[in-house]
Structure 1
Amino acid sequence: MLPKVLIGHSSKSYFSLADAHRWADVVAGELQNRYADRPHPGDGTFLCVPYPLLPLMIDKLGPSGMALGTQDLSQFGPGAYTGEVSAELLSEIGSRLTMLGHPERVNLLGETEEVIGIKAGQAAGHGITPILVAGEPDPSHDPREVMQAQFDVRLKDVPLDAEVMIAYEPTWAIGAPEPAPPAHVVKVVATIREMLADRPNLRLVYGGSAQKGTFKAIVDHAREVGSTEGIPDGVFLGRFGLDPHAFLDVVDEVRTALA
């Protein structure tokens, strides 16, 4: 089962092999130093990397309890699908998570909702938790309407009792200087919980230019307005997590806020 508190990072395609070694060494060492009282100091943290880096990260960070995964997987099973990486193979290697539906892949590679849904079914069917990146294209769109259409297709082949993580990342906040405002995030997170209330193993994190201070601001606002259902289970960092020390600071922040 996924922990109740989650702090993740997607390295996108930024890491070289040397970068990956450095990031993993710093994070593994500092998790042990900062949380020496925990048998698994990385429990509740997760990392999604390009396929070739997965074995390295499992070797270096798996012992801490960090969950390791990839940024995509194939819609196909094993077979004559040149260049594809199947859910079966990733599961055998040790992948526990996979990102699906990120706007960068939708916009740059033309991935459709139907393909994302097939991939989610492949992941869930092989013990890999799909991380579905969902959100509205711009602030003028109704998040409920947009995401209902996304969930209807993306979750069609995912059993109700399967583990699912939703990364709420409004497209207009991805790559922006600042994340979405806390009031907006709290409202939408509560809406998503209502929409997917029939999924007992749901986890919900906020992404979209998340950085140090983002999660605390969301939690503070939620508590101020009395919306506990608007508090995400954690945060998902993109470029702001490339600095391992920044990632670790956010681990501290989220764990403290939800203590």
Structure 2
Amino acid sequence: MHQTQADSREYLQAFLPQLENTPEARGIVLCAPFTSLVAMSKALHGSRIHLGAQNLHWEDSGAYTGEISGEMLTEIGTRYVITGHSERRQYFGETDETVNLRTLAAQRHGLTPILCVGETKQQRDADETEAVIVEQLLRDLVDVDQTRLVIAYEPIWAIGTGDTCDAIEADRVIGIIRKQLDNPEVPIQYGGSVKPGNIDEIMAQPQIDGALVGGASLKPESFARIANYES
């Protein structure tokens, strides 16, 4: 919940010029608040950046005050949507069942879901990381088309805390995630206090395909450095 429409336009003016030398193979998605999506869609027209939303409802329409549908998102040029983010699970009562419904709705409308999974500190300390994530995937991926999917491993204890999961450990967990999938080519990202100072090490890991960036994406120069990571 950051940035007004005016803020978003100003952000893009500073961000886009810093991508002139970014390798074309690197996909960049900005997942903005709903109120900024129209303004950003217009500003990004013809650019290399794709637009994403932060959530969607599983129904196409109806009396679901405060929610947004897949059709509403695709109409304005949205291509991606985050489902199952830990903050949605933690603060707004998301369950694996509702995450699955939202993920299916995204695909039904031609959106690519960025499905988030991850463990709490309590679960990690209890050595339950693998069991928790395997169970999440089992429930979240029911009937999901794995050819149109991105997965993000975001250890909840590392989000916004400055406490990044060690890159080698993140790579190990992402390897576990990949083994649970029917399609091993699904892009799998790491998310959790990703910043300019650790992006090169994170992206050097063999199992990690990308990064889901939170606070460090709010400053254009910071996010540009992440997009321009050195491999």
Normalising by the residue count of structure 1, what TM-score does the alignment of the two structures yield? Answer: 0.82
The amino acid across from 2:209 in the alignment is D
Give the 5 Å matches for 1:187-198: 187-196=172-181, 198=182
Question: Would you say 1:152 and 2:147 are equivalent positions?
Answer: no
Q: State which drifts further: 150-159 or 128-137.
A: 150-159
Which of 215, 222, 225 is the aligned partner of 1:239? 215
Does structure 1 conserve the Cα–Cα contact (< 8 Å) formed by 2:4 and 2:36? no
Question: Would you say 1:96 and 2:79 are equivalent positions?
Answer: yes
Which of 66, 70, 80 is the aligned partner of 1:83? 66
Give SS of 2:115's match: strand
What residue in structure 2 maps to residue 225 of structure 1? Answer: none
Q: Which has the higher contact order (CA 8 A, sep 6+)?
A: 1
What residue in structure 2 maps to residue 175 of structure 1? Answer: 160
Deviations 1:38-77 (A, max 9, x none): 7xx6961111011111111122124222110100001211
Aligned residue-pair number: 228
In structure 2, the gaps of 5 or more residues are: none
d(CA) in 1 for partners of 2:149 and 2:69? 19
In structure 1, the gaps of 5 or more residues are: 1-12, 223-227
Deviations 1:136-189 (A, max 9, x none): 11232432211111111211131243x111111100101112311112111111
Give SS of 1:202's match: coil
Tell me: CA distance 1:42–1:241, structure 2 relative to 1, closer, same or farther (3 Å): farther
d(CA) in 2 for partners of 1:65 and 1:217? 25
What residue in structure 1 maps to residue 128 of structure 2? Answer: 142
d(CA) in 2 for partners of 1:31 and 1:169? 26
Does structure 2 conserve the Cα–Cα contact (< 8 Å) formed by 1:43 and 1:64? no
Deviations 1:179-207 (A, max 9, x none): 111121111111111111x1255111111
The amino acid across from 1:177 in the alignment is G
Does structure 2 conserve the Cα–Cα contact (< 8 Å) formed by 1:117 and 1:154? yes
Question: Would you say 1:24 and 2:28 are equivalent positions?
Answer: no
The amino acid across from 2:132 in the alignment is V
Does structure 2 conserve the Cα–Cα contact (< 8 Å) formed by 1:43 and 1:65? no
Q: CA-atom RMSD, angstroms?
A: 1.9
Percent identical? 34
Give SS of 2:52's match: strand
